[in-house]
Amino acid sequence: MSDPGRPRPPNEDPASSRLDDGLGGSPSVKRWFASTGYDTEPREEQTRRLALLAEFCRHVGQDPDELVTSCMRTTKHGDRAISAKGRNAMQVAIEEFTASTGRSGREGVVAGNQLRGFLIHNGVFIQGPVWRR
Structure confidence at residue 130 (pLDDT) = 75
Structure confidence at residue 18 (pLDDT) = 40
Contact at 8 Å (CB) between 18 and 25? no
Question: In this structure, which amino acid lies at residue 28?
Answer: S
Cβ atoms within 10 Å of 2's Cβ, excluding its own: 15
CA atoms within 13 Å, Cβ hemisphere of 116: 21
Structure confidence at residue 19 (pLDDT) = 43
Structure confidence at residue 108 (pLDDT) = 94
List C-alpha distances in Å: 22 to 86, 99, 107, 114. 25, 26, 26, 20
The sign of the dihedral angle between the CA atoms of 43, 45, 46, 48 is positive
Distance CA 86, CA 92 (A): 10
Distance CA 114, CA 106 (A): 12
Residues 6+ apart with CB under 8 A from 125: 82, 87
Structure confidence at residue 22 (pLDDT) = 67
List C-alpha distances in Å: 6 to 1, 2, 35, 92. 11, 8, 32, 39
pLDDT in tens for each of the 133 residues of the chain? 333 343 434 444 333 344 444 688 899 999 999 999 999 999 999 999 999 999 999 999 999 999 999 999 999 999 999 999 999 999 999 999 999 999 999 999 999 999 999 999 999 999 887 767 6
